[in-house]
Amino acid sequence: MLRRAGHSLGSRLCQRQGQLEPAVQGLKPSFAVAEEAVEGARDASTLLVKQRMKSVANIGKITKAMKMVAASKMRSAQVNTMNSRGIAEPLLKLLGDLPDAQGKKNVYVPITSDKGLCGGINTTVCKYTRASIKAEDGEDKEHSIVVLGEKGRSQLQRDLRASIHSTVADTGKVRVTFAQAAAIADGINTTEFDVARLIFNRFHSAISYKPTIATVLSPDSLEKEAEAGGLLDQYEIEGPDRAELLQNLSEFNLASTLYNALMENNCSEQASRMAAMESSTKNAEEMLGKLTLTYNRTRQATITTELIEIISGATALAG
């Protein structure tokens, strides 16, 4: 094919010396099909790379935008989170942190997000939930799970389906408020637990959000701990309403701890999403750089091949 092309090219060269372009153009009608087939094959690889470059650049733009949205959401959530700590901390000081409290009925409340693309926080919460259930497992111990968030539900329903008591979702759809946390807490109370464990990500800073387990006790467990010399024993609780007072305290404790946990997890989710989108943008840029190099190399190679064909045709004709 090359020899035939060179022949016709050569004949035209003889007629018009030194004018390469018209000769090449003149080549087209005679060997139109062959030429176009070769040209199409050359363009196909560059076209593919170009398409890929366009899509990778778009992805980079989207992830960059998502990162900025998450950063701004995190900033406003941080303020609310710090404020919510003021509700949960006094109860912690009053009742003490009791991670190794024992009880017959244990309820686990993993708090996860509804939306994805937020890094590994939901997986770590589910991992801690499973580990916690395993650690507390014993004879005559009952476990049940109240899952908050769609991501946790889809992960935990794979192997802990039988233990799930209820699921809650769309907590962040309108707004996370104390009233909402109180309503959900009343729902958790219907399980009549002895010990409730809330598993969530506590927000420390934009790069540090650690999984935490907050323990909330029922009034009976509180009594037991107080008798065993817990912090609550420092206070004199007089009167016939002792049981009712402890009941109210326990309910309020669950609601405030849950509210704090929801806010902290929300803030951690935004921070984690920011980090995930940042690494995603960086990867996209890196990929784009590599693709650009490949594209340029392919483009230059095709031009060089064309030149070689033309020149070798000309030399074949001359020699």
Q: How far is the CB of 165 from another protein (least distance, A)?
A: 6
Distance CA 280, CA 259 (A): 31
Binding residues vs another protein (CB under 8 A): 157, 161-162, 164-171, 173-175, 177-180, 182-187, 189, 247-248, 251-252, 255
Query: With respect to another protein, which residue has the nearer C-beta, 127 or 165?
Result: 165
Of 70, 83, 76, residue with least CA distance to 113 = 70
Q: Tell the smallest beta-carbon distance from residue 171 to another protein (Å).
A: 5
Which C-beta is closer to another protein: that of 56 or that of 176?
Answer: 176
* Beta carbon of residue 205, minimum distance to another protein (angstroms, whole number): 26
Q: What end-to-end distance do the CA atoms of the chain give, in Å?
A: 18
Q: Which is nearer to another protein, 35 or 220 (CB)?
A: 220
Burial of 134 from C-beta contacts in 10 A (0-12 / 13-18 / 19+): exposed
State the Cα–Cα distance between residues 230 and 222, nearest whole angstrom.
9
Quick one: 162 or 207, whose CB is closer to another protein? 162
Shortest CB 183 distance to another protein, Å: 5
Find the shortest distance in angstroms from Cβ 100 to another protein: 27
Nearest residue (CB) to another protein, 120 versus 187: 187
Contact 34, 1 (CB under 8 A): yes
- CB neighbour burial string for 259-289, b if at least 16 within 10 angstroms, e if fewer: bbbbbbbbbbbbbbbbbbbbebbeebeebbe
Rounded CA separation 61/285 (Å): 10
DSSP 8-class letter at 124: H
Name the minimum Å distance from CB 117 to another protein.
Answer: 21
Helix (H, G, I), strand (E, B) or coil at 103: coil
The residue (of 33 and 174) whose beta carbon lies closer to another protein is 174
- Cα-based distances in Å from 206 to 67, 83, 114, 217, 266: 13, 17, 20, 31, 12
Burial track 19-46 (b if 16+ CB lie within 10 A, e otherwise): eeeebbebbeeebeeebeebeeebeeeb
Minimum Å gap between C-beta 143 and another protein is 14
Task: Kindly tell me which of 240 and 319 has the beta carbon lying closer to another protein.
Answer: 240
